[in-house]
Structure 1
Amino acid sequence: MLRSSSVLLVLATLCACKEPKGVEVDARHLVPAEADAVFGFELAPLRDSPIGPLIHTAMQGDADMRGMLASIPDCDVDLANMRGLMATVVDANDKFVAVIESPNIGDEGTVRCIEKGFAKATGGPSGILLFETKGDVRVTPQQDGGYLVVLNKNAIAIMDKSWEDVVFAAIADPATRNTTTPLAKALAQVDAKTDAWFAVALPDEARAGMTDIEGADGITVVRASADLSSGMKLDVGLSTRDAPNAKVLEGSLTKLITELKPGLAGVGLPATLLDTLTVKANDADVAASLAVDEGALPGVIATLAPLFAEG
């Protein structure tokens, strides 16, 4: 029989265990320096826009993403207020980190529900999630390596094993976060609350092949954001080697736009599609902006969709 003092000691110990306070961190600051591609989105406007089905179809091509899409709706997750970020290395299949933000998604019961639904959707085993405290966050190891991290009650992160150390360091210590690579600087210029956005760092071999457009071989990072509230307003930023490079690229793109306009109708696109397109160099950056009205957007997407499918 347990002594009453022992029982009191156990109870006191349990009561002293506090939930970790969690961390509030901009998802962009968890992107490792090694990453070369990042995609972010607000789910509701993306899902409800004409471009939504195209992106949904693309996501269905990945088994893990397909399983995640199938599992989340059955759990206590507010899809109307969900925001996400995914970062990777384009030529690697073991370097990935994602941050999903939505009210209540960081609840451990919700995480267990998502895991169970994911296992069912992918035909994999549904294991027991073992949470542990790591610094200020709760974590659970994933079956194939890596971790799921409860950043706070409204945000979770999922990472591959190869990026565990760097992401955990960024979670724990702001001084370790990547802010100096060309991609990180481009991410700082992106409005993370835009409906959809991406940033991609171009490797040397990719730039070497971009000789058709003068100045394009100097592009280091491409970033773009889309406002889908009414039609689509697309803002693109091209980071280049230096200001002279940007000025040359501005001239080349302006000339290219002029050459493309007469042939738009012949390929099924509105003849006025590029009328709102502007291109402007600013120091080492080239900014481009294009607005597509709500009525024209579905037709534009239908015409261009096969090109994305082929890519």
Structure 2
Amino acid sequence: MIPAAFEYFAPTSLDGAVTALRDAGEDAKIIAGGQSLMPVLRLRLAAPSALVDLGRVAELRGIREDGDDIVIGATTTHHEVLHDPLVARHARLLAEATATVADPQIRHRGTLGGSLAHADPAGDLAAPTMALDATFRVVGPSGIRTVAAADFFQDYFTTALDAGEILAEIRIPKHTDWAARYEKFHRAAQQWSIVGVAATVSVAGGTIERAKVALTNMATVPVRAHGVEESLVGQPATAETIRAAAERATDGTDPMTDGNADAEYRSHLARVLTRRAVTTAAGI
């Protein structure tokens, strides 16, 4: 339960962090809140030669408005995201999902960017960023680039980050006053999702004008439920409409079978949780 020896770097600027990561070698790891990495290090499932700690890089933390977007620094904690008024108004779906992450102690240390870069398919925050059409600003030795959430997650624990790159910020188009709901099924309180559904909708005059839905743990990456969205938009916000749309929740998914659930059960959960999430978000 003791990590292998490693060098430790604590830069105070983003440029310094990029330089430290480059100089530390190919097997160096980035640490932010450490809530995913530290257990892996203690079990020696990973033994990097160096850690680059982002905790002192002030420019990576905080939440601000930028025109039609809100921008969240990658090392902003789950607690800060959960209680920020900008997120509550303009990206309520992210706040809904963040409230289900682990427990208060973890939420005070864990970070949004760390969770996204970890890319656990059972993690609760990737699907909401995909549903909200977020983009990620990535900084590395070759400069700055932007990656859409839909392109960022590539496989189990694998992202579009190249060697030496750091996820710097998450940019979310404002979904001002959209209703939202994140539903997850898990075996015990504060555990990872067996299946999760992120849904945000805009309803006017009894009609669903806009809808965005994404699924957690129904493939090796989060999946956008386009079939559900297409079945909802322009339709009356009724239980019958939502029930029919939820039947398309498994379109384009590839649920796995593991010790928690088989693929058939996950598909059942996806349809049930989609119906619940959209029904709640639509206020029915």
Same fold? TM cut 0.5? no
Higher helix proportion: 1
Rg comparison, structure with higher value: 1
